[in-house]
Amino acid sequence: MKKILIMAGLAVGLFALVAASYDAFLEMGEKTVPSSQCNKCHKAIYADWAKDFHSKAFVNDPFKKASNAYSRQECLACHTAQEIAQEDALKLRPVHKEEGVNCTTCHLRNNMIYGPYKLVAKHKSEQDESMLKSAFCSGCHMPTYQEWQASGSQKQCQECHMPRAEGKLVTVFPLSALAPKRMVGQHLQMSEGLIKGAATITGQKGTGSVTISLTNTGAGHTMPTGKYGDYRMVLTTKVLDSGGQEVVSKEEVFSSQKDNGVPFNKTVKYSYPIPPGVGKDYKVKATLAYQVSGRPDMLVASWNAE
């Protein structure tokens, strides 16, 4: 009896969802729907996006300041873009600007919702396999895209920034009960795991000097990358003598604004002199920190030697 009731409830719920028309989702310009509409069914993807910096592209403090409190129109065309386009053809979305780069920016074009699959959704949709390729990101990320092309990386942007895992596209009952399992791309583009896999540090202790090597092992572009933001990797090396006194303290700053980052698969080396008298009996602690203003620093890699 209970089972029958559940089945009946499911059928009614499904009917309501099937019966509704979702053609309003295909409207653009002033009528573009907000991402909260997509959240009614794609809850897990929405939750990722809500933590992702694309959803902060308009509201974040660095952007608010640098765009003179949103008065520079040329910045808005990208930070709150209506749709994917090449850099010079980007146009701003006139509504829901606070959502920055939102669901409709990446998925809605020509009054159609595009996805990587060929599915029958509640709303109209068409397949666009280019969504799985780096070129899809290039209109807004051209400098990084060019670094990626030159890097020889075998992975597309999406393979690192939107890794796929088994899940459901629709995570809201009752639709979720019928939705098959598929591969779903993570919509949180900068995860802690990704940053921690960016680089490795090794070193060599000598009598008169210590050498530190830093390799970009995980970022398929210059590390750090970016044209507009101020992203930094800071390599700090400290040497302590046998008595625990700090005898060397050095810092190398790699910054997207200075354009002095480390290319993919490349190693940079630094040799620091050890003061005479310290001998070979010293400790080294080298760390690499990821720094973006307004966010907590993150430890990427370290190398310690006794």
Give the residue from 193, 212, 210 showing the smallest Cα distance to 202: 212
Q: Where does this chain touch ligand HEC (CB under 6 A) — which range of 2-10, 195-203, 241-249, 266-274? A: 195-203
Q: Scanning residues 282 to 301, which ones bind ligand HEC (CB under 6 A)?
A: 292
Interacting residue with ligand HEC among 215, 220, 235, 286 (CB under 6 A)? 220
When asked if residue 84 is in the footprint of ligand HEC (CB under 6 A), the reply is: yes
- Contact indicator for 212, 235 with CB cutoff of 8 Å: yes
Q: Scanning residues 95 to 134, which ones bind ligand HEC (CB under 6 A)?
A: 101-107, 113, 115-119, 121-123, 125, 127, 131-132, 134
Distance separating alpha carbons of residues 277 and 279, to the nearest angstrom: 5
Indicate the residue among 100 and 203 with the shorter CB distance to ligand HEC: 100
**Omega before residue 224 within 30° of 0, cis:** yes
Interacting residue with ligand HEC among 10, 13, 14, 62 (CB under 6 A)? 62
Distance separating alpha carbons of residues 38 and 15, to the nearest angstrom: 19
Q: Scanning residues 21 to 40, which ones bind ligand HEC (CB under 6 A)?
A: 25, 33, 35, 37-38, 40
Q: Scanning residues 4 to 23, which ones bind ligand HEC (CB under 6 A)?
A: 17
- Contact indicator for 181, 168 with CB cutoff of 8 Å: yes
Interacting residue with ligand HEC among 44, 93, 174, 185 (CB under 6 A)? 185
Q: Scanning residues 145 to 164, which ones bind ligand HEC (CB under 6 A)?
A: 145, 148, 153, 155, 157-158, 160-162, 164
| Closest residue to ligand HEC, based on beta-carbon distance | 115
* Nearest-approach distance from CB 28 to ligand HEC, in angstroms: 11
Give the residue from 213, 216, 117 showing the smallest Cα distance to 168: 117
* Nearest-approach distance from CB 246 to ligand HEC, in angstroms: 28
The letter for the amino acid at 3 is: K
CA atoms within 13 A on the CB side of 235: 25
The letter for the amino acid at 126 is: E
* Nearest-approach distance from CB 158 to ligand HEC, in angstroms: 5
* Nearest-approach distance from CB 91 to ligand HEC, in angstroms: 10
Angle, CA of 158, 134 and 264, to the nearest 5°: 85
Burial of 79 (0-12, 13-18, 19+ CB in 10 A): buried
